[in-house]
Copies of this chain bind each other. A is one copy, B any other.
């Protein structure tokens, strides 16, 4: 008789954002006049920029004509996109990453999730707490997390991120093998300075660990001393895989394109992780749509860069508006400077779900309760800067008027 992967049955039932969505919809149903503003989900709202739309049109036309039609593309991505990535995201920062170290995909979520395929089950995995749930759930599914007991997985090493350590977790006090780091961080919105990342690269080298570095939000970095890539740290190419995405950089959440960097210098016990990931992708993936790769390429054109950077600036201004409003009503606020996320401390020791309900009821503004990202998220809520300016201002007006 067939047997299922029992690890799936250990996963707690509902996904954070489904619960938040259900609560919002129930509240809306119970209050028919409620004009709810969602600042809960990290999804972009500005349309694709003109350069990207033009590239989609051009590629669609090419696909309709015999001479320029494309069938199966390379599983790793077309050279035109891999070369543009190397030139614009790495070479300009003095980083020596080559095109054959870039793997284009349909999303950083897919890559962050699928990367576990190339690792043995008996690796000790370290995750931040609070954390983007995908790192945790995919390791749970593949049997690396143990059992879920009292809100925590028995085999994971949780790296607490709190006010005391500035949301930059301390190095582990026991040996860990796979380390998930995300900077600028989701959900705290905090960025990591260079000397902090150097400590992690040092730790990984000393302990033979692999760093899984999610830099999906690098486009939001405004501080000069904050690295955009883990490879700005000397020697990182020997210990780190980097995940990047066009989702937040260029509003591709519904267009789907991302990439993962697996340097050839990264080996585990003499085995090249670049070769393993290449084999994984060639066997279980057939590349990203040609038209979508052309759209991603257009993000790097001079016009595309100017247009997408204007959008990033727009969202960062939203973040500033949110930060200032929350500070005005007396909250302690983190993030929102190098990231589209604002992480606010609940007042008077309120629980994060309690504060979520309170704000929703008093102002009809939806947030995300920090506890949904892990035990150490308790006592915080997350707001996102991806709404329109109008809605962001309206939401902050309501918060100022009602909660001050």
Contact = CB atoms under 8 A, between A and B. Distances in A.
Given A60-B56, A63-B47, A69-B45, A289 B255 contact: yes
Contacts of A137: 283
Contacts of A208: 1-2
Contacts of A268: 1-4
Contact of A286 (B15, B50, B106, B119): B106
Given A2-B119, A3-B119, A286 B109 contact: yes
A165 interface: no
A254 interface: yes
Contacts of A56: 56, 60, 63, 291
Contacts of A142: 117
Given A47-B63, A65-B47, A255-B63, A1 B73 contact: no
Contacts of A169: none
A237 to B, nearest CB: 15
A271 interface: yes
A201 to B, nearest CB: 14
Contacts of A289: 106, 254-256, 289, 292
A224 interface: no
B110 A285 contact: yes
B286 A256 contact: yes
Interface in A1-60: 1-6, 8-9, 11, 15, 41, 43-50, 52-53, 56-57, 60
A3 B177 contact: yes
Interface stretch (A86-94, A273-281, A359-367, A394-402): A273-281
A43 B71 contact: yes
A131 interface: no
Interface string A64-86: 11100111110000000000000
A379 to B, nearest CB: 26
B53 A69 contact: no
Given A4-B119, A254-B290, A53 B64 contact: yes
A186 interface: no
Nearest to A6: B120
Interface string A174-188: 000110000000000
A403 interface: no
A209 interface: yes
Contact of A15 (B49, B64, B269, B282): B282
24 contacts: A2-B208, A3-B119, A3-B123, A3-B269, A4-B268, A6-B120, A41-B72, A43-B72, A47-B64, A48-B69, A49-B64, A53-B60, A53-B63, A56-B56, A56-B63, A56-B291, A60-B60, A63-B254, A71-B251, A72-B254, A107-B285, A134-B284, A253-B286, A291-B292
